[in-house]
Amino acid sequence: MQLLYEIFPVFLFFMAFKFYDIYVATVVGIVATSLQIVINRLTYKRWDHKQLVTLAVFLVFGGMTLYFHNPIFVKWKPTIVFWAFAIIILFVQFFMHKSIMQGLLKNMLPENQCVPEQVWKRLNVAWALFFMSLGTLNLYVAYSLSDDAWVNFKFYGITAALFVFSLFQTFYLMRYMTDTSKQ
């Protein structure tokens, strides 16, 4: 359910592009992301920092797309967001000595299960490398293919990549889970 909630603005961007154009899709994406943040705030009584970063980048780069009437700026948005996430993940791990992935996922582990600290650190680095790679791939598609191909990649390709990487992450964590009740 959370995945559907997360990709909802991307889906609306995709649909607006298919029925109109990149400029209408950009406005729809900004409005949908803004609504997502408001709904999250009203529902959970907290700000989702990931969504705030996404909106800030969308406002800047989507705004430049609309102002300059050039789609390349909105095509940079996923790359900037992915690279920002990668930098944040690595900064927190190496300078604050915390694992963002552990903070995000430890409550999803079954009761009485834990994962070694070193595994969380490796997972952090894996996500950072994944985000850097996905951002780079996005730029390649943005500059090499048509607007339609880029929108399809953004909706289908990035969504599928995130899903598959999350699935691999699950299997990776399962290998290292230990039962704390038997200790």
pLDDT: which is higher, 137 or 51: 137
Closest CA to 123 of 59, 47, 177, 60: 177
Q: Using the Cα atoms of residue 42, residue 45, residue 50 and residue 55 in order, give the sign of their dihedral.
A: positive
User: In the prediction, which pLDDT does 111 show?
Assistant: 73
In a domain, 124, yes or no: yes
Mean pLDDT of 161-183: 85
Mean pLDDT of 37-47: 91
CA 134 to chain CA centroid, Å, is 10
User: In the prediction, which pLDDT does 60 show?
Assistant: 97
Give how many domains the chain has, as a whole number: 1
- For 44-82, the pLDDT digits (tens) are 899 988 899 999 999 999 999 999 999 999 999 999 999
In a domain, 182, yes or no: no
In a domain, 130, yes or no: yes
In a domain, 122, yes or no: yes
User: In the prediction, which pLDDT does 179 show?
Assistant: 72
Range of the domain at 30: 2-177
| Model confidence at 21: pLDDT above 70 | yes
- Note the pTM of the prediction, 2 decimals: 0.88
- The CA-based angle 99-102-104, given to 5 degrees, is 110
Q: How far is CA 23 from CA 31, 52, 73, 97, in A?
A: 13, 21, 11, 42
d(CA 9, CA 169): 24
Mean pLDDT of 138-159: 97
d(CA 107, CA 114): 10
In a domain, 96, yes or no: yes
Instruction: Give the amino acid at 62.
Output: G
In a domain, 43, yes or no: yes
State the burial class of residue 48 (Cβ atoms within 10 Å of its Cβ: 0-12, 13-18, 19+). middle
Task: Provide, rounded to the nearest whole percent, the portion of the chain with pLDDT above 90.
Answer: 70
**Cβ-defined contacts of 60-65 (< 8 Å, 24+):** 62/26, 62/27, 62/29, 62/30, 65/22, 65/23, 65/26
